[in-house]
Structure 1
Amino acid sequence: MPGCALAGAIAISPPRLDITLTGTQAAEAVKVVNLDTNPIRLKVSVAHWRLDEHNRVEVIPPTPQSADQWLLITPLEFVVEPGKFQTLRILVRPRVKPEVGEHRAMIFLDEQPPDTKEFATRNLARIGVGVYVWVPPVERKAIFHCADAGYFQKPMALLDLESTGNAHVRPAVQFVVWPKEKFPGKAGTVKVQESPSSPVVVPAGAVAAGLVPDIPVLPGTRRKIVFPLAESLPAGEYWLDLSGQVDSLPIAEVVPFIVPELPSGDARDGAH
C-alpha cells in the first residue's frame, strides 16, 4: 500500500501530516485501514516529541507552543472491521498566538485487546503519525558538516547534518558503493531511481546502492544519521558516492573506505 505507514495489520495514509497554518485553524484527515481478518479496536492519543540520540521518537512534556496542545481529533476510539477503513479527522486550532516556525505533535494509535479470548494473547500494534504544523515565515537552513564510512561489523556510513532554521530539514540523498577501480569519477553520475516511487537499482559496476534514511533534523539540532551500506562486502577498497540535497543544500561527496580481511571464522554480517 503506497504512501502508508504500517504496523501489524494497520495501515495509515498519509504516514505524516505537513500542515501550513495561515489562518486561525486548519483541517486534515488520515485514513486508517484494517488489513487483518478480524476487527481491530484502536484508541488515539497525542503527545509532544523529539528524537533521541538514536533517532527514535521520544515523548516529552508539552508546551503552549507544541502542536499536541492544538489538535482536536475525532473519533478518539473506534473499531475498524476487516478490510474496511476509518477516517480520522484532525482540526488544528492553536490555544495561544503561535510563534513562527515549526510546531510538532505525534498522534499515536494503540490497538486495544480484543474482546474474544481466543485472540487475547496477540501482540498489539502501536503506530504513530507525525504532525508538523508550520507558521509562516518558515526558514529551512541546513549545514552539511561531513560524511564518513567504514566497516563496523558491516559496511556503515553516516551523514552529519545540522538544522539552523525554524523548521526541520530532511536528506534526499542517494548512495552508491563502487569498488575503487570502477568509480566513474564524479559523485552523482548515475541515478539509482527513475522516480521517487520506483525501486532502487544498483548501477552496473557498483556493489550496493540505496537511499539515506530521510530522518528529520529538527530545528536547532545537529544529528548524525547512521545507515548500513550492505549486509556484507568482499574485502577491498571502496568509494562511497553520495549525491542529492538536504532541502536546498546540494550534496555531492565521495568517501573512500576499506573493508578489511577478517580472521578465519568471523562473519561479515556482524560476528562479535
Structure 2
Amino acid sequence: MLKKLPNILPLLCFFGVGFTPIPAYSQQLSVTPLVIERQAESGQARGVIDVSNASDKPFRARVSVAPFTYSREGLKVLESSPNDLTPYLVFSPRELVIAPGETRSIRFNARLLPSLPQGEYRAMFSIEELTENNDSTAENEVSLAVTIVSTIFVRNGELAPILKVENAFYDAKAKEIRLLVNNTGKATTRAKTEWNLSQNGKPVNSGKLEETTIIAEGDRYIRIAYPPQGKTLTPGTYQFSGQLKWDFPNKGGILPFNVNFSVSQEDINTETKPSQTPRR
C-alpha cells in the first residue's frame, strides 16, 4: 500500500495556492510530465515519470499519492473521492536516490477492477524528499521535506469533455476578469483562452491565456489578470468574447464565447485602493 500524503502544504505551494515559499533546493528538482493522461486498455494503463535532480547533493525520495479535484478556484486535495485512482496504482521503484545532475525514471501501472464503472480516475503523484531525522526520541528514521508533484488521469471507457461558458464578471479586489466554464462531460480537459475586450463597440484589449484545467463534471473560473500595468478601467458594460481551445486525445475542440459584464464606480474605487491585507 502506497503512503498517502501526510502534509499537503508543500504540494499546494507547488501549484501556487499555498503561502509558504518553496526552498531554493526544491526548485532544482523537476518532475516530467506534470500531467499524464491514459486510456485504460483491458483494465490497465501504464506510464513513466522522470525525476531530475539539478542540485549539488543526492535526493532521496519516496512516492506518495492522493485523490484530488479542481474546484472553481483551483486545485483541491481530497481525503476520498469516487474518482480516486490511488488504490489501483503500483509504482516501481517506490523509494529511490537521485544523484546530483541525474534523472531517474519511475514506472507506474494502474490496474482497474473489472467491477469499476466507466469514468475518469485521478491521482496526484508526489515525490517527497526523505531526510535523516536526528531526533533520538523519534520513532521513524526519516522525515519528509520537499514535495514535488504531477497528476495522473486514467479514463475507463470512451469519454469526452463537454464545455459551456456560463458567464463572466469582474473581481475588483483580485483585479481579474473571471470566466465561468462548465464541463458536463466525463473527461477532464485543459483549455487555452483567446479573448477580446470591448466597450460600446470599441476594442479595449485582447490576449491569450495558457491552459486551465477544467475537471470532468465540474466547473472552473478562468482567471485573467486585468487591467495590465499602466492601464485603467472605466465604469460601464464590457463585451468579453473569444474562444476556448483544447486538444483532447485524437480530437480537439473549439468553443466561441461572447458574454457581457459590468464594472461599477465602486469596483473602480476598490481596484485603485491599496490592499489592507498583505499578500502572503
**Please, what TM-score do these two structures have when normalized by structure 2?**
0.70
| Greater percentage in strand | 2
Q: Secondary structure at 1:98's aligned position in 2?
A: coil
Structure 1 residue identity aligned to 2:63: V
Correspondence list, 1:123-272, <5 A: 124-148=145-169, 150=170, 152-153=172-173, 155-177=175-197, 183=203, 206=205, 209-211=207-209, 213-219=211-217, 221-230=218-227, 232=229, 233-236=231-234, 240-245=240-245, 248=253, 250-253=255-258, 255=260, 258=263, 268=272, 270-272=274-276
Q: Secondary structure at 1:82's aligned position in 2?
A: coil
**Please, what TM-score do these two structures have when normalized by structure 1?**
0.71
- The structural deviation recorded for 1:42 is 1.4
For structure 1, list consecutive stretches of 5 or more residues without a partner in the other structure.
Answer: 117-122, 184-204
Alignment deviations for residues 84-112 of structure 1 (CA, whole Å, 9 cap, x no partner): 11101011112343322211111111122
Q: Secondary structure at 1:8's aligned position in 2?
A: helix
Asked if the contact 1:141–1:163 (Cα under 8 Å) also holds between the matched residues in 2, the reply is: yes
Pick the aligned partner of 1:97 from 104, 112, 115: 115
For structure 2, list consecutive stretches of 5 or more residues without a partner in the other structure.
Answer: 1-14, 16-21, 135-143, 247-251
Asked if the contact 1:32–1:86 (Cα under 8 Å) also holds between the matched residues in 2, the reply is: yes
Structure 2 residue identity aligned to 1:95: L
- The structural deviation recorded for 1:22 is 2.0
Q: Equivalents in 2 of 1:142, 1:173: separation in Å?
A: 13
Residue identity over aligned pairs, in percent, reads: 17
- Give 1:46's aligned residue: 65
Q: Secondary structure at 1:170's aligned position in 2?
A: strand
Q: Equivalents in 1 of 2:118, 2:228: separation in Å?
A: 43
Pair 212,255 (structure 1): closer, same or farther in 2 beyond 3 Å: farther
- Give 1:108's aligned residue: 126
| Greater percentage in helix | 2
Compare 96-105 and 33-42 and name the one that shifted more: 96-105
Q: Equivalents in 1 of 2:70, 2:98: separation in Å?
A: 30
Q: Secondary structure at 2:57's aligned position in 1?
A: coil
Q: Secondary structure at 2:74's aligned position in 1?
A: coil
Q: Equivalents in 2 of 1:35, 1:27: separation in Å?
A: 27
Compare 105-114 and 66-75 and name the one that shifted more: 105-114
- The structural deviation recorded for 1:59 is 2.1
Asked if the contact 2:38–2:155 (Cα under 8 Å) also holds between the matched residues in 1, the reply is: yes
RMSD: 3.4
